[in-house]
Amino acid sequence: MARENADTLRNLIRTRLRGHKFVTVSNREPYVSEWRNGQREWKRPASGMVVALDPVMRATRGLWVAYGKGMVAAPGNGKSEFVDVPPGNPSYRLKRIWLPEEEEQNYYSGFSNSALWPLCHIAYRLPIFHEKHWHAYQAVNERFAQAVAEEVGDEPAFVFIQDYHFALLPRLLRKRCPRAVIAHFWHIPWPDPEVFRVCPWKEEILRGLLGSDLLGFHIRFHRNNFLDTVNQQIEARIDRERSAVVYRRHLTKVRAFPISIDFDSVSSNAMSPETEARMNELRQRYRLSDDVILGVGADRLDYTKGLPERLAGIDRFLDRFPEYRGRFVFLQAGVPSRTSVAEYHRLNEEVNAAVRRVNEKYGTPEWQPVIFVREHVPLAELLAWYRLARFVLVSSLHDGMNLVAKEFVASRVDGVGVLLLSEFTGAAREFRNDALLINPYAADGMAEAIHRAVTMDCDEMRRRMGRMREQVRENNVYKWAADILRKLAKFV
């Protein structure tokens, strides 16, 4: 079978999904606007979900419905606005939903990220359950159901819902859009049933998700956890042979679809003259001479990403292998995230303290081992970081997939570089033989893996990177989308 790309996806849409609208729903919008000097400026947020779905939406030329975070005031009708995106080269429409500030805080910072996020990630943070957060979560799901129904009505449509912010939306849409085929993709892990049962509104969440025709997870392990949870918590029939749930006479197929990236686009941009120029700029900006060994990390400032643990591993590496002091630099992008949540504020302080501790312990007036960039770094610049790196370090404590790993692999058009990857990521299932798998809780093991990365010979690097590149090339974002759309087409 030919490798999937934007053209094959468009052909699939024309032949299999003809006559159906295509609507994606997410909390995060694919392009965020800011007003500067009276002008609207757009940027793409730091989001693996956006990285994966933007090329799919360009191919479908559909409608994306999202929370309009960049709005400086409520639009004229107090509800929404339409924007053609991507900026400068529009190929689909974005419907931006305005939310009152208190409602947004309770739904997003509250229930979504203080309850569901820690509940689903094994990162040893207790979930916080407040009724006012739950009520806001219900209200926002209702608001989005109405916004989608305004565009779909009783016409044939495919509605593709993203992530844990909208667990109630599938059942709400089933009532409002009777001819829509509804898919929901859960981008984060699904926990063990014994973990999920602590949620006071577990049954409502499960019933909401089972309004989907198709429910997707990254890996089979999370899919199986979901089926076990349903089996324990509500009266439903589990068909494990077909990987499906029948609830109130409605069939929901539950599948694993490992998400990916646009390999060809990342590779092409990574070898562009613009990237080469940025690489030279970075060498000068950070004084990276040819004999400097560079490690790179790129993450949101989130406790699931294991940044304090990563810095502990770097500390242990410099302690155990002092010959690399003065020759080793770790460049970390830490994008601020969910700053209104107390846990994230504490994390930011913890990471800042860890960076200072490592730099004060080992640094000199001429050299600092850790350079921490506390801002959003666009993908165009991250590609230059990846190209310069001897290794990229992904130390997630728990991650549904992790697309930084795949971006790094796609960027290495030179065929070298080493991926150090947490065994607790979905990506570790795909790269288990060729990445250096690490336990982020074990600083000594991480130090050993860093040492192995900086001493690995070129032949071994090329063998490992070549196999990983082939994996991402063949299993790209278009294959992920095509697999889902082919399953959806069977419901028509």
Would you state the structure tokens that stand for residue 8, as one six-digit string? 């094959």
Mean pLDDT, rounded, of the chain: 93
pTM comes to 0.94
Please state the rounded mean pLDDT for residues 187-216.
Answer: 97
Please state the rounded mean pLDDT for residues 199-212.
Answer: 98
Would you state the structure tokens that stand for residue 185, as one six-digit string? 């993709």
The runs of H, that is alpha helices, within 306-376 are 307-320, 342-362
Q: What is the SS3 assignment for 22?
A: strand
Q: What band does 43 get if pLDDT is binned at 50, 70 and 90?
A: confident
Q: Which domains does the chain have, with CATH numbers?
A: 6-260+477-489 (3.40.50.2000), 263-474 (3.40.50.2000)
d(CA 317, CA 451) in angstroms, rounded, equals 7
Residue 454: per-residue pLDDT? 98
Give, as one character, the DSSP assignment of residue 86: S
pLDDT, one tens digit per residue, over 115-143 is: 999 999 988 889 999 999 999 999 999 99
Check whether 451 has a pLDDT greater than 70. yes
Q: Are strands 80-85 and 92-97 parallel, antiparallel or unpaired?
A: antiparallel
Task: Specify the length of the chain in residues.
Answer: 492
Would you state the structure tokens that stand for residue 81, as one six-digit string? 């606005």
Residue identified by tokens 């107090």 is 78
d(CA 297, CA 369) in angstroms, rounded, equals 13
Q: What is the SS3 assignment for 339?
A: coil
Question: Could you tell me which of 148, 143, 155 has the C-alpha nearest to residue 25?
Answer: 148
| CA 426 from centre of chain | 11
Question: Could you tell me which of 193, 194, 197, 247 has the C-alpha nearest to residue 223?
Answer: 193
Q: Which amino acid is at 450?
A: I
Please state the rounded mean pLDDT for residues 449-471.
Answer: 98
pLDDT, one tens digit per residue, over 224-246 is: 999 999 999 999 999 999 999 99
